[in-house]
Amino acid sequence: MGEEKQHSIPALPWMRDPVDITLSQQLPLDSVPSLHPKLKSALEDLGISNLFPVQVAVWHETVGPGNFERDICVNSPTGSGKTLAYALPLVQMLSDRITRCLRALVVVPTRDLALQVKQVFDAIASPLGLRVGLAVGQSSLADEIFELVEMPAHDISTYYDPHHVSLPRFQSKVDILVATPGRLMDHINTTKGFTLEHLYYLVVDETDRLLREAYQSWLPTVLELIQSNDDVFFQPADSFFPCSVGALRTRRRCGVERGFKDKPYPRLAKMVLSATLTQDPGRIIQLNLHHPLLLKAGQMRYRLPENLESFKLICDKNVKPLYLIALLKSLGEEKCLVFTKSVDSTHRLCQLLNCFEDLQIDIKEYSSLQHQRVRSKTLNEFRKGVFQVLVSSDALTRGMDVEGVRNVINYDVPKYIKTYVHRAGRTARAGQTGRCFTLMSEDEVRRFKKLMRKAEGGSCLDHNISSSLIEALYTSYQSALTKYKVIISKTQKKPKK
């Protein structure tokens, strides 16, 4: 992660002069210019009466006077409302569409995040008659195709056959698609009738994470498909284009672009967002942004939520699990997320904690070692409050919004400030209060303090647990360890003869 070492002044000139989101105020729905009445009442049904500053700023640059003339990059803290910041303008802009085509594509890194984003879209898009699809590999490819593409009555096979001479009429069943890169590529490569040719809007959520992982070159592929459509736009109407199997060809927005001296320029509008947006020109360039505008909260690249309190808890590393247990006990019934450094550590820690007989706290794990179905079930139960403590590694928690998480605990000190931002950001969301505790040994303190100086709002208090509380746990620790060793020996594979 060489990016961490970069100087904090961005190399890209347009990144040096951002619009500061913190200067925007919350805006009551009645004052939001041009807000569709149905969108307003959908928001009210969600209990939303004001737009958050990032939503106001994005609205201003898209639906408002900005009119989507520039591609939008958003760097705003975790829990500040980025999902609705992009979902609202998309739904508003598509509300007057006449035919149903795939007009907006939202790419996110994980399935659970995609499900969460789809729920947000469903709540605001359905009242305006827009359909939202999901391409995440939750169901079989065939089931997913059934939900996304209307097959011509006579055509029963679902996969693309390049030798098929007559071009049947496929119809998209969705206006907006939320996808993970892998499944998106499956549809691009194999699903007949799945086309991006009508796309107006591309959203890349958790951009830095998605740009870091190539996932079968999904981004160059999507951009190339869109680019080739733009090229075809200027070709004579009778020219052959293999993707034009659908309904009408769509004309992308053809506005007067700022800086283009009244030259009409059809293009796809892009929005890219993250709480830790990359400043690396080598990565940003991959997005092929058009005259980009950066919307950013505050001065520094990393910013922690306003109502987050950070604490460091210095432990004796020989009995670190006891500090965690003492901390969990002191937090009572509050929902907690515990982060470890790896999936293996997550598994081991969760097993060990469950070996403490008198703990009386329900603890489950959430990791990529588990089957997706198990993981989704665990997450749903955690959302509903069926159990109270979830132990997780980093990979899957980007963007996850679980109501009522009051505490985040870093069992292992995060290596990078970016990791701290995303972990801590699972609490103190939407203006709520929250706490992040980081367990560390004495010799890790210096590095941790240095790490926290990289973030706005990175001040950190001490949280102490008395040694008598730790000593009181020694006996149960011994019996938990014995029980844990039995479990480990049973699960370890027997050597082959």
Ligand X SMILES: Nc1ncnc2c1ncn2[C@@H]1O[C@H](COP(=O)(O)OP(=O)(O)OP(=O)(O)O)[C@@H](O)[C@H]1O
Site residues, ligand X (CB under 6 A): 48, 50-52, 55, 78-84, 275, 399, 401, 425, 429-430
Nearest to 306 by CA among 16, 79, 147: 79
Task: Indicate the SS3 state at residue 303.
Answer: strand
Chain centroid offset of residue 263 CA: 35
Cβ-based neighbour number of residue 77 at 10 Å:
28
Task: Indicate the SS3 state at residue 106.
Answer: strand
Measured between alpha carbons, how far is residue 282 from residues 288, 300, 418 in Å? 11, 20, 19
Yes or no: say if 54 and 295 are a contact pair by the CB < 8 Å rule.
Answer: yes
Yes or no: say if 104 and 199 are a contact pair by the CB < 8 Å rule.
Answer: yes
Q: CB nearer to ligand X: give 275 or 363.
A: 275
| Least gap, CB of 120 to ligand X (angstroms) | 7
* Distance (Å, whole) CA 34 – CA 474: 63
| Least gap, CB of 72 to ligand X (angstroms) | 14
| Least gap, CB of 323 to ligand X (angstroms) | 27
| Least gap, CB of 83 to ligand X (angstroms) | 3
Neighbouring C-alpha atoms within 13 Å toward the C-beta of 103: 24
Q: CB nearer to ligand X: give 264 or 404.
A: 404
Check residue 299 and report its DSSP letter.
S
Q: What is the DSSP string of 177-232?
A: EEE-HHHHHHHHHHBTT---TT--EEEEETHHHHHH--TTTHHHHHHHHHHHHHHH
Nearest to 184 by CA among 242, 288, 105: 105
Neighbouring C-alpha atoms within 13 Å toward the C-beta of 35: 25
Check residue 288 and report its DSSP letter.
-
| Least gap, CB of 488 to ligand X (angstroms) | 35
Instruction: Give the strand order in the sheet containing 201-205.
Output: 19-20, 293-296, 72-75, 269-274, 201-205, 104-107, 176-179, 132-135
Task: Indicate the SS3 state at residue 88.
Answer: helix
| Least gap, CB of 7 to ligand X (angstroms) | 24
| Least gap, CB of 399 to ligand X (angstroms) | 3
| Least gap, CB of 271 to ligand X (angstroms) | 12
Check residue 65 and report its DSSP letter.
T
Measured between alpha carbons, how far is residue 301 from residues 3, 187, 294 in Å? 12, 36, 12
| Least gap, CB of 189 to ligand X (angstroms) | 29
| Least gap, CB of 348 to ligand X (angstroms) | 27
Place of tokens 């639906």: 63
| Least gap, CB of 321 to ligand X (angstroms) | 28
Q: What are the structure tokens assigned to 445, written together? A: 């303190």
* Distance (Å, whole) CA 389 – CA 405: 9
* Distance (Å, whole) CA 108 – CA 181: 7
